[in-house]
Amino acid sequence: MEDHLTRRRFVGACISLAGLTLAGCATTEERGAVLEPRPIVDESFAKKYSARPQEPFPLPAVEPTALAPRFRRQRVAFTSGELPGSLIVDTSTFYLYFVESGDTAWRYGVGLGRQGFEWSGRARVAWKRPWPTWTPPDEMIAREPELERWSVRNGGMPPGLDNPLGARALYIFQGGVDTLYRLHGTNEPHSIGRAVSSGCVRLINQDVIDLYDRVKPNAPILVV
């Protein structure tokens, strides 16, 4: 079955990011999804999700049993009407698409914000960082005072395997303003395909590295 998202659906689903309250990227509640992929080409699981010892913080391999086949990175038939190089996050299926051409895309399984912190709309990837520092927003610190030690005032949480942003982060802006939402890595494969974080879009670290290398600065992003 071909992945197919129409312009009508995009336009009808888009609402402004402005005015939304950031909740951060910490793991919390979960909700599941059922998906059916149709790959055009596929590489071996081991090649895609092997250990990355050359990284500044070496990544372990992902166990095949930890990531359902439907959430594994794959090139798929896909029609959207969006320009090549665009990103589309379909929150109903827990898929992120990198539009490759008019009828193909790279598809990644993602984890999404739990109910109450979901967001949608059009924006852009203003910049991106490898192994970023994480600074929880004031709203999150107010709910979880123990996170004050990682506040902007204290320099944030250093990069590493335990950092909530993982191996890479892409920073989403709208109208020149940082929305404080991120596409970022995670070392928790069980969280893919579920609503587990407080607002951000998470990918397996191996997948976010692959996506990071494909995405150009100012790439448009659509969340529906």
CB 146 within 8 A of CB 196: no
Buried b (16+ CB within 10 A) or exposed e, 30-64: eeebebebeeeeeeebeebbeebeeeebebeebee
Active-site option among 4, 14, 25, 184: 184
Cross-strand bridge partners of residue 113: 197
Residue 128 CA to residue 213 CA, distance in Å, equals: 10
How many secondary structure helices (H) and strands (E) does the chain include?
Answer: 4, 13
Query: What is the maximal distance between C-alpha atoms in the chain?
Result: 50
Residue 184 is among the residues annotated as catalytic for this protein: yes
Sign of the dihedral through C-alpha 12, 18, 24, 28: negative
Residue 53 CA to residue 36 CA, distance in Å, equals: 32
Residue 14 is among the residues annotated as catalytic for this protein: no
User: Which residue matches tokens 């928790």?
Assistant: 188
Residues with a catalytic annotation lie at: 184, 200
